[in-house]
Structure 1
Amino acid sequence: MTTARSVPADLADPERFVEADLSSNEGTMKVIEAVKERFGTIDIVVNNVGGSSTPPGGFFAASDEHWLEALNLNLLAAVRLDRGLLPLMLEKRKGVIIHISSIQRVLPLVESTIPYAAAKAALSNYSKSLSKEFSPQGIRVNRVAPGFIQTAAADAMMENIAQVTGSFESALQSVMDALGGIPVGRPGFPEEVGELVAFLASERAASITGAEYVIDGGTVPTV
């Protein structure tokens, strides 16, 4: 089952989709109840909710509302979803939870994503705590921390920046430069992140829990 705030135009299986806003308690409960009603149990939870709407301008540009929005979307959405679905896994003493974090938890862009980066850092901390408590009960909890991934949303951002830089390619380069460069020379692709998540959710990763896997093309310059 998948969920999002709006229904995708190319949705292949409507029966396995729930339209909901996971940044709210009501939206999260809608998804939890749909899982219980349609399946009765769950084996894998991948929390991919995230984003930032804080305007540029650094620390003083972020209001209380921006901070609360970032925390609700990037941290509390995962907490609420886990709270509702983890008991179904505990009944079987088996399950996998994967939280999608971000390299910005250690590499914040101070111009525009301070609340987002702080929320993702909190998500990683929370995820580690969850793994320590529930791994002995058969629930594996891991994190994936992408860098710059060329999603549809990222392409839309590039188009906006291109209005200033003059071309999509120059906009792309400006974002990579802002990150300090990407050694592999390009952003990652969503499919690459998906492959990593699929591995961590599989039995091939049966001994991996409490870990974080960075997929950023070498962007983070430290160990």
Structure 2
Amino acid sequence: MSIDLGLDGKRALVTGGTKGLGAAVVQALATAGVRVATTARTVPESGSGRIHYIAADLTTARDCANVAGEVLRMFGGIDIIVDVLGGSSAPAGGFAALTDEEWRREIDHNLMPAVRLDRALLPSMIAQGSGVLIHVTSIQHRLPLPESTTAYAAAKAALSTYSKSLSKEVAAKGVRVVRVSPGWIETDAAVALAERLAREAGTDYEGGKRIIMKSLGGIPLGRPAKPAEVADLITFLASPRAAAITGSEHVIDCGTVPTA
């Protein structure tokens, strides 16, 4: 973004920040002048400039606590948290394929990291009277695919409801809570999926993309969103320019969800 968002010198934590959307968010915030700490299970050996990497498995309570402590020691406080971490490893096969273990894994990956980090870091935001929490949900909580995303969609729905409730609790204390709900994003993983589907169908990459878009019921813009496009929205919402925005969910899906 070329406009001044008033973010210079702010302190942020971005989860899942070495790949895909997370990496785009880290770069967008750093470009806007934010000091960024970001997590992943495997991280580069050292940070660069405004970016600091923390190795952690945020599906565990222990690593969430360790990350929160390290962020507070490093920055002395926190202004922005962007919970990007998420995804699904559940098998296809509908409800019958979802064991208790699969349900637990989806919830631990898509809900609990945000809950635990918020619980650890929100007190410092409340103490300073300001802060922004951005939880990345998914259009899947409104548009689930029964064959493969039931548990993921349910976990993201829980994250969305938790976010709305939290926004009501902390808005009067100076902390904004906002949800960003992406559709299909053209990350490296999404490209790999489209390429695999293309090979299986005997078509090219564009044909693979069309297969995915058809499975979603179509995308009116005719393409997925770019990671940088979603990251720009998140960066704006984290900024003082969005100071009146809280409790809301911002869909960025190229028109995929067919209802208002």
TM-score, with structure 1 as normaliser: 0.96
Q: 1:53 to 1:109 in 2, by over 3 A?
A: same
Q: In structure 1, what is the Cα distance between the partners aligned to 2:43 and 2:118?
A: 23
How far apart, in 2, do the equivalents of 1:119 and 1:8 lie? Answer: 29
AA in 2 matched with 1:97: L
Per-residue CA deviation, residues 150-202 of structure 1 (Å, 9 max, x unaligned), is 01111122233233122322211111000000000100000001000011001
* 1:187 and 2:240 aligned: no
Between 29-38 and 210-219, report the one with greater CA deviation.
Answer: 29-38
Which residue of the other structure, out of 192, 212, 219, is the alignment partner of 1:175? 212
Structure 1 segments of 4+ aligned residues over 3 angstroms from their partners: 8-15
Seq. identity, %: 53
Sort the Cα spacing of 1:51 and 1:213 in 2 relative to 1 into closer, same or farther, 3 A: same
Deviations 1:47-105 (A, max 9, x none): 00100001111111111111101001101110001001101101101000000000001
Q: Which moved more, 1:126-135 or 1:22-31?
A: 22-31
DSSP 3-state at the match of 2:259:
coil
Distance 1:73 1:18 in 2: 17
Matched, 1:121 2:157: yes
Measured after TM superposition, the shift of residue 13 of structure 1 is 5.2
- Among 143, 146, 159, the alignment partner of 2:182 is 146
Matched, 1:44 2:80: yes
Tell me the amino acid that sits aligned with residue 179 of structure 1.
L
1:10 offset after TM fit, Å?
9.8
Q: Count residues in correspondence.
A: 223
Q: Distance in 1 between matches of 2:241 and 2:50?
A: 30
State yes or no: 1:95 paired with 2:131.
Answer: yes
CA RMSD of aligned residues (A): 1.6
- The 3-state SS of whatever aligns with 1:112 is coil
Letter in structure 2 aligned against 1:211: S
Give the TM-score normalised by structure 2. Answer: 0.83
Shift of 1:37: 1.4
- Separation in 2, partners of 1:47, 1:83: 13
Q: Which residue of 2 aligns with 1:162?
A: 198
Of residues 59-68 and 161-170 in structure 1, the stretch that sits farther from structure 2 once superposed is 161-170
